[in-house]
Chain A
C-alpha cells in the first residue's frame, strides 16, 4: 500500500517508517484480525465449521458477496457509491433466464448480451454522475429503482410470472454451467467455481490498484478529485471505468447465482448493495474515498459469509442474525479505526 495516497509520500521521506508500522498501516489489517477472530470463534463453538464440507459452504456463501465487495471497494476508493449493484445481479440473471427460456435465445449469446447490457448500464451510471455532478448515491439509487421495477414489471409482462423456471433444460445449459455454477471436489469438500472467481477478482483488483497507473488514478480521484484533475489524471474516464467494473462484477455474480441455482427471481439481489458496501467498509475502505484495499473487502466478505453460515452451524436462533451482523460491523470498523490511528501515531 505504498502508493495509497500521493500526499503520504512526502511524509514518509521525512520520517522513514519501520516494517511493522508499514504493515499495521495497511487498510486490511483490521479486517484480517477480525476474520481470524471470527474463524477461531466459530471453529470453537461449532464442530462442523472447519470440516471440508463446512468450509465449502461458507466459502461459497462469501464468494458471491466478495466478488461484488471487491468491485464496490475499488469504486469506493475512487470516491463513489453504486447502489444499483445488488439489483444488477438480479437484472442480468433475469435477462439471461427470460431470453433463453422465454424466447429460445442461445444461452451463450444471452450471457454475452447480459454482459454488454450490464457494462452499458455501468457506463450510464458513470456518465450521469460525471456529467451532472450529482452524488453517485442519488444517481445509482435511481438506477437501482429502475432496475428493480424492470425486474418485476418487464419479466411479469413478457413471461407471465416472476421467477424463471425450467432454465436447466435450455440447450447448452450444461456447456455454460461449469464456468459459473460448477463445483470442484477437493478432498471431502465441494468448492464452487465462484470461489475461484472470487480469488481471481481479488488478485486482479489488488494488482491493478497497487501496481498500475490506473490504480494510482483510482486513489487519486477518490482522495482529491480537483488536484487529480489538475495533475492530468483522466477523472471522468477513471470513474466511468470503475462504474463499469462494478456493473461487470454484478453480471458475474448474476451469472453465478443463475447457474448455481438454475433459477432467478424478480427480487434477487435487492438489498444486497448495502452488504457489499458493508464488506468494503469492514475491509478498511473509507466512505469518503481515497483509501481502502481489495484484499480488505475480500476479507470483509469472508467475515460476512463465515458469520452468516456460522450462526447456522452453531445452531443459534437465526432471529438474531442481523443484530449480530450489525454489532460485528461496528466492531470491525472500530478495530480498523483504532489500528489506523495507532499506525499514524507510530509514524
Chain B
C-alpha cells in the first residue's frame, strides 16, 4: 500500500492512468498509517467472481479488521481454480505474513496452499473447503458447514408444512459447496428437491431462467436461492409467473432483508460473511503477535443463523451498511 501512493502519482500520465485510483480508497489510507506499527501483510484470496455481493461483505470484514488491528490486507479473487492458485503463488513470492483463502475447489489449490504452508506462511481457509483445511496444513477454518446448514433448511421447511417440490437454484457452476447444500436439503426435506443451474453473475438471466422453470413446472412450491441476488431475482420471477411458491434463501443483503420485511421472502440462512473476512484476519494477527490458535484448529462456525420477519429489523440496519 505504501507503494501504491507513489504509483498513483507516476501513473497519472498515459496508459496506466487508472492504476492510481486505488490510492484514494478510504481503507487504504487508514490502514496505511498504522501498518507500520505491526507491519503485517495479509493476503485474502477468494474464489468470488468480481462484483459478487457476498464476497463484497467478506471483503468489508477483512478491510475492517485491517483498520481495527493496524495490519495491511490485500484482497484478490478469481473463480477459476488455476488462476486462484496463481494468486496464492503470487502472495507467497511477495512474502506475505498470512494468507486467507476460500477453497471452493480444494484439489485445484492443494499444491499452492501446501507450498505456502511449506514456506512458513500461516494459512486460514474460509467459506468452502472445511474438510481439506487441516489436511493441507491450514491453522484453522472459518465458515459455515454446508451440510449442517442445508439440513437445517430441510428441517425448517418440514416444520413449515411444505410438501411440494423445492427448486434449489445453483448460481456457480463448479462450486462443490453449493451442490452439497442442495443435497443436504434433500436429505432432511420430506418432498423432492430439484436443482436448477443459473449464471449468478447475470441477475436478469437468473430471473428469466427461474421464471421459465416456474411456468413449466407448477409443482414447485419453494424456490430456494443460495445467494442474495439470486433470491431477489427469484422473487421477481415468482411474481411474474403468478406462482404461489415461497422464496427462501441462503445469505442476506439489504435487498433480501427488505424482501423479508415485505413478506416476499420467508426466511434467509445467514452464514455471516462479514465474520469470514474479519475473523481470519484477526486470527492471523493473534497468531503472529501472540501465537494463538482459536479452538485448537477446529473449524470455527460463522453460521447458520436464520433471519425471518421476527428479527429482520435488527439485521436490516447492518445489511444496509454492507456488513451483513
Cβ–Cβ contact B76 & A312, under 8 A: yes
Q: In chain A, what residue has the closest Cβ to B27? A: A317
Of the listed residues A37, A257, A265, A321, the one surrounded by the most CB atoms of chain B closer than 10 A to its CB is A265
Give the chain B neighbours of A161 by CB distance below 8 A. 176, 179
Closest CB-CB distance, A171 to chain B, in whole Å? 17
Judge whether A319 is part of the interface by a CB distance below 8 angstroms: yes
| CA distance in complex: A314, B11 (Å) | 12
Cβ–Cβ contact B4 & A261, under 8 A: no
Closest CB-CB distance, B1 to chain A, in whole Å? 5
Give the chain A neighbours of B318 by CB distance below 8 A. none
Q: In chain B, what residue has the closest Cβ to A53? A: B93
Instruction: Name which of B14-22, B213-221, B247-255, B266-274 contacts chain A.
Output: B14-22
Closest CB-CB distance, B2 to chain A, in whole Å? 9
Interface size on B, residues (CB 8 A): 52
A 42-69 to B, binary, CB cutoff 8 A, 1 in contact else 0:
0011111001011011001100100000
Q: In chain B, what residue has the closest Cβ to A45? A: B7
Cβ–Cβ contact A328 & B15, under 8 A: yes
Using A47-B3, A265-B174, A318-B76 as known contacts, say yes or no to A313 and B50 having CB atoms under 8 A apart: no
Cβ–Cβ contact A261 & B82, under 8 A: yes
The listed residue (A56, A263, A323) touching B18 by CB distance below 8 A is A323
Cβ–Cβ contact B3 & A314, under 8 A: yes
Cβ–Cβ contact A268 & B86, under 8 A: no
Of the listed residues B3, B86, B92, the one surrounded by the most CB atoms of chain A closer than 10 A to its CB is B86
Cβ–Cβ contact A57 & B173, under 8 A: no
Give the chain A neighbours of B77 by CB distance below 8 A. 318
Judge whether A135 is part of the interface by a CB distance below 8 angstroms: no
Using A37-B15, A152-B197, A320-B19 as known contacts, say yes or no to A315 and B1 having CB atoms under 8 A apart: yes
Using A64-B82, A314-B19, A318-B76 as known contacts, say yes or no to A331 and B14 having CB atoms under 8 A apart: yes
| CA distance in complex: A315, B75 (Å) | 8
Interface residues of B in 74-96 (CB under 8 A from A): 74-77, 79-83, 85-87, 89-95
The listed residue (B1, B22, B110, B111) touching A320 by CB distance below 8 A is B22
Judge whether A216 is part of the interface by a CB distance below 8 angstroms: no
Judge whether A324 is part of the interface by a CB distance below 8 angstroms: yes
| CA distance in complex: A260, B115 (Å) | 14
Cβ–Cβ contact A314 & B7, under 8 A: yes
Judge whether A168 is part of the interface by a CB distance below 8 angstroms: yes
B 3-38 to A, binary, CB cutoff 8 A, 1 in contact else 0:
110110011001111110110010010000000000
Cβ–Cβ contact B6 & A45, under 8 A: yes
Secondary structure at the A interface, as helix, strand, loop or mixed, is helix
| CA distance in complex: A268, B173 (Å) | 9
Cβ–Cβ contact A57 & B15, under 8 A: no
| CA distance in complex: A232, B28 (Å) | 63
The listed residue (B15, B17, B91, B107) touching A261 by CB distance below 8 A is B107
Q: In chain B, what residue has the closest Cβ to A183? A: B111
Judge whether A322 is part of the interface by a CB distance below 8 angstroms: yes
Judge whether A165 is part of the interface by a CB distance below 8 angstroms: yes
Q: In chain A, what residue has the closest Cβ to B28? A: A317
Closest CB-CB distance, B284 to chain A, in whole Å? 17
| CA distance in complex: A268, B79 (Å) | 9
Judge whether B105 is part of the interface by a CB distance below 8 angstroms: yes
Judge whether A266 is part of the interface by a CB distance below 8 angstroms: yes
Cβ–Cβ contact B10 & A44, under 8 A: yes
The listed residue (A45, A267, A318, A322) touching B75 by CB distance below 8 A is A318
Question: What is B's interface to A at a CB cutoff of 8 Å?
Answer: 1, 3-4, 6-7, 10-11, 14-19, 21-22, 25, 28, 50, 72, 74-77, 79-83, 85-87, 89-95, 105-111, 172-176, 179, 197
21 A-B contact pairs sorted by A residue (CB < 8 Å): A45-B4, A51-B93, A56-B93, A60-B89, A61-B83, A64-B82, A161-B176, A161-B179, A163-B105, A163-B175, A260-B85, A261-B111, A262-B107, A265-B105, A265-B173, A267-B172, A311-B19, A312-B90, A317-B25, A317-B28, A317-B75
Q: Which 9 A/B pairs are nearest by Cβ-Cβ distance?
A: A265-B174, A53-B93, A317-B22, A263-B107, A261-B108, A263-B108, A316-B22, A45-B7, A331-B15
